[in-house]
Amino acid sequence: MPGPLPALAALALSAGGGWMALHHPLSANLALAGFIAWTALCLWRPLIGLSGALALLPLAGLAPWTGWLALEELDLLLAGLAIAGLLRGSGTMPAAAPAGAGSRLAPGDRGLLPALLIGAFGVASAIALARGWLAAPAAPLHWTQGYLEPLNSLRLARPFAWTLLLLPLMASAARERAPALREALADGMLTGLALACLAALWERMAFPGLLNFSADYRTSALFWEMHVGGAALDGYLALGVPFAVRAVLRARTPLRLALSGAVAMLAAYACLTTFSRGVYLAIPIGLVVMALVERRAGAALPLGGPRPRPGEDDRPLGLRWLAVAAPLAAAGTYLVFAHGGYRASGAALAMVAAIAFAGGAARRLGAPRSLAAIAGGALFAAALGLVAAHLPKGPYLLQALLIGASAALTWRRQALPERERSQASAALMMALIGALGAGAGAVALHWGGPAALSGALPVLLGLGLLAALDGARPKPLWPTAVRPATQALAMVAITSACVAVFTGGSYMGERFSDSGRDLRGRLSHWQESLAMMRGPIDWALGKGLGRYHAGQFFGRPADERPGSHAWRPLDDRGDGQLTLTGPGHVAGWGELYRFSQRVPALPGQWQVNARVRPSGALRLHVEICAKHLLYDAGCSTGSQVLQPPFGAWQTVSLRTDGSVTQSGPRGVPTLAMFSIAVATAGARLEIDELRIIAPDGREISRNPGFLGGLDGWFFSSDRHHLPWHAKNLGLHLLIEQGAIGGVAFALLTIGALARLARRDAGPMAGTLAGALSGFLVVGLFDSLLDAPRVAWTFYLLTAWALLAPRAVRPRAPQMRDESA
């Protein structure tokens, strides 16, 4: 039974969660029912709840639809989970319970140091919360307060507060079910990463194009926190990728290996399309740290995977193998991709896959017969290619049929031990490898002409020769078991994707060429940020949580301030009014401060009716754009210069130009956004009512009179981001929490990493160390902790790193000296 204090806290969370659900802008009834059902699930199976919260995290933020910034749907999930933890757990820090079989309790490890580290940062955060709340200008409380108002302090306090509230659950599970808790965390992180990467895949398909690497478009997935820039997705990927690698290495069935491999490939694509130099640095560093920690623990990475059959080579891929294979894969991709593009590269990759999973076919036949089979298959496919060239998309169809035949034969051969695989099936496998090479050549010729074929031919011939030469050696050139073969194929695919991104579009090259200028700009921004600190109290305790943007806003000259908006009530019934202020600087298309609402993606002419009171001469801008968050893919726009009398209410009606607002291929859902902006520098506009009329004449605006707040409304600054972010995690902590908070955070993080680096850190230590290290590398270039969902993930993993039981193997029994 819980004590009175945990029970009281659980009751308060129940009331708060219910109150929040009842005010949800989209559906109060659905939110309340979901909260009750979720809490019941967490009470029944709390570890399922923990895993589910991590899995749903990339989806549990609907701010572009609700307008809520300070609180979001993740808070309902965590409230239900915390209620379960408070009612089921004891609330004490865990002693170091055994980490599983072969472990024993580590003497002296009673959770004192973790408690001190977590408690110190908790106290520093509480002080910063109080300072931030008190420093904010007085404003009426409502659910949609922005970044200048008091609730922004609560917004940034939430991540660590939720971590503290979940400690009872983690403490109880760490004592009683440590392995189950560990796997719940890992499964939740892997599923969340998969959902985030699927969202990134959808975003690329719907807007710039799946393979468009030239457009100035950086992926944000469903992390709405990037509406004013930032690196929320970058930080989340840095935390999640080590869990995908762990899943690939530990997969014990072909299905799990395929699923985890697919997640890893999706993550690689998402990482590449962030076009973030920080991510490109953080992911390799995180994986290196992961490998080093596992090696120190003597685990050499927790390899699982399908068990090798007799005769199969299951050795892990060594560094020498990678050092040779990765450059060859990069060079081969460059030759094929230069003129053959993605189609030829994908066709060639199918040949690589067949070679990787050939399962010793070449050694079964010997090199001469393997070479003959490859040549025969290539000649046969080339003859078919001549016929296919006269059919619509014939070469693609031919290659697809060859891939299907190769996959079917590979599946059948892999079902048998290597010694039982017949020579006939081996000959057919080698013939299909040759056929896939010829099919890839046909695809290259069809897409890029003779230049593409001449570039691809040396690579395809080299692959065929390599496949045959494997039969000339008693020991295979590469491991033949499913797991290492899959890893080898994944390495080649990821290397090919990297080459394609860097050579197939100009945007990444432009990003790297601008690195020096960006660094100089960032250094200047850091100096300006430090100038916000006014005295010893600021340096010691910080400006307060959530006050960075306010300091940037109020501390700048009027002609440098970003845009802003504010809501104020007009009466006790909740009738309200919006004040929208344009940026003080000259605003181009990307620098406008947009006040927005989600609308259907409909082409045609839109109408906007508004009751406004301008402070002076200004240009009012409206738009309907095919848009996810920051980058539009076509807009229907309109504008009007407001006329006197100024300072008096007037009704305006604007029509857009009717441009098509749909984007993306057929069948891929797209999003659209209505936005209004003041396009005159520093001008202020009061808005009493704002109605959006669709091309079919329907009014589709939600909350047009701003009743009770700004439910349904959102804002963004598409290109001007620096006033919202310190662009360095340490600097962000120093400004908002002072030296005390910064030191407490450093000790918390160092303590977690130091514990993970110990030989007895237990399973998953390498994964956690890689995740936390990668996150901190991204934090060199961005704030990260100002994105609550990502910050909570980091704090939760840090807490588990501190609380996880130590793996201490039992000592061998000692013989007593009977002569004593």
The 10s digit of each residue's pLDDT in 675-729 is 999 999 999 999 999 999 999 999 999 999 999 899 999 999 988 899 999 999 9
Of 79, 88, 99, residue with least CA distance to 14 = 79
- Give the dihedral sign, CA 415/419/422/426: positive
Of 772, 712, 718, residue with least CA distance to 745 = 772
Q: How do residues 464-509 score in pLDDT, each as one tens digit?
A: 998 888 777 777 776 767 777 777 788 888 888 888 777 766 676 7
Contact 429, 354 (CB under 8 A): yes
Cα–Cα distance between 767 and 761 in angstroms, integer?
Answer: 11
Query: Among the listed ranges 1-10, 92-101, 131-140, 291-300, which one has the minimum average pLDDT value?
Result: 92-101
Query: Strand, helix or coil at 678?
Result: strand
567 contacts: CB under 8 Å, gap ≥ 6: 140, 142, 144, 576, 577, 578, 579, 706, 709, 710
Per the domain annotation, does 819 fall within a domain?
Answer: no
pLDDT in the model for residue 319: 61
Of 161, 229, 500, 237, residue with least CA distance to 348 = 500
Count, residues in the chain: 820
The mean pLDDT of the chain is 87
Contact 145, 151 (CB under 8 A): yes
Overall domain count for the chain: 4
Asked if residue 574 has pLDDT above 80, the reply is no
- Amino acid identity of 688? D
Per the domain annotation, does 699 fall within a domain?
Answer: yes
Q: What is the mean pLDDT of residues 201-208?
A: 93
Q: What is the mean pLDDT of residues 545-563?
A: 91
Asked if residue 575 has pLDDT above 90, the reply is no
Higher local confidence (pLDDT), 399 or 515: 399
Are both 609 and 669 inside the same structural domain? Answer: yes
Q: Among 88, 122, 156, where does a domain finish?
A: 88
CATH code, 621: 2.60.120.260
Query: Strand, helix or coil at 357?
Result: coil
Cα–Cα distance between 93 and 103 in angstroms, integer?
Answer: 20
Question: Could you give the percent of the chain with pLDDT greater than 90?
Answer: 59
Are both 768 and 785 inside the same structural domain? Answer: yes
Are both 463 and 605 inside the same structural domain? Answer: no
Higher local confidence (pLDDT), 10 or 98: 10
Q: Which domain holds residue 600?
A: 563-719
Q: Among 657, 691, 719, where does a domain finish?
A: 719
Residues 35, 222, 77: CA angle, nearest 5 degrees: 15
pLDDT in the model for residue 562: 93
How many Cα atoms within 13 Å fall on the side-chain side of residue 399?
Answer: 26
pLDDT in the model for residue 62: 97
Are both 266 and 138 inside the same structural domain? Answer: yes
Are both 249 and 165 inside the same structural domain? Answer: yes
Per the domain annotation, does 322 fall within a domain?
Answer: no
Q: What is the mean pLDDT of residues 610-615?
A: 94
Per the domain annotation, does 255 fall within a domain?
Answer: yes
Q: Give the H/E segment covering residue 390.
A: none
Query: Strand, helix or coil at 642?
Result: strand
H-type alpha helices, 357-366: 361-365
Give the pair of three-digit tokens for residue 379: 């000649």
Per the domain annotation, does 493 fall within a domain?
Answer: no
Are both 380 and 435 inside the same structural domain? Answer: yes
Cα–Cα distance between 399 and 139 in angstroms, integer?
Answer: 65
Higher local confidence (pLDDT), 332 or 124: 124
Are both 698 and 573 inside the same structural domain? Answer: yes
Q: What is the mean pLDDT of residues 614-626?
A: 93
Give the highest mean pLDDT range of 99-113, 295-309, 404-418.
404-418
pLDDT in the model for residue 250: 86
Are both 164 and 264 inside the same structural domain? Answer: yes
pLDDT in the model for residue 808: 55
Of 800, 714, 575, residue with least CA distance to 93 = 800
Give the pair of three-digit tokens for residue 532: 């916000």
Q: How do residues 742-782 score in pLDDT, each as one tens digit?
A: 999 999 999 999 999 988 887 899 999 999 999 999 999 99
Residue 776 phi, psi dihedral angles, 5° rounding: -65, -30
Question: Could you give the percent of the chain with pLDDT greater than 70?
Answer: 90
Per the domain annotation, does 605 fall within a domain?
Answer: yes
pLDDT in the model for residue 502: 76
Are both 575 and 715 inside the same structural domain? Answer: yes
Are both 672 and 528 inside the same structural domain? Answer: no
pLDDT in the model for residue 188: 98
Asked if residue 191 has pLDDT above 60, the reply is yes
Q: How do residues 419-470 score in pLDDT, each as one tens digit?
A: 667 888 889 999 999 999 999 999 999 888 899 899 899 999 999 998 888 7
Are both 20 and 61 inside the same structural domain? Answer: yes
Are both 362 and 304 inside the same structural domain? Answer: no
Contact 604, 624 (CB under 8 A): no
User: How buried is 255 (Cβ within 10 angstroms: 0-12 exposed, 13-18 middle, 19+ buried)?
Assistant: exposed
Q: How do residues 70-112 score in pLDDT, each as one tens digit?
A: 999 999 999 999 999 999 864 444 444 444 443 443 433 457 8
Q: Among 654, 687, 719, where does a domain finish?
A: 719
Task: Give 10-78 as a DSSP string.
Answer: HHHHHHHHHHHHHT-SS-HHHHHHHHHHHHHHHHH-HHHHHHHHHHHGGGS--HHHH--SSS-HHHHHH
Per the domain annotation, does 321 fall within a domain?
Answer: no
Per the domain annotation, does 34 fall within a domain?
Answer: yes
Cα–Cα distance between 122 and 127 in angstroms, integer?
Answer: 9
Query: Strand, helix or coil at 352?
Result: helix
Asked if residue 545 has pLDDT above 90, the reply is yes
Residue 676 phi, psi dihedral angles, 5° rounding: -125, 145
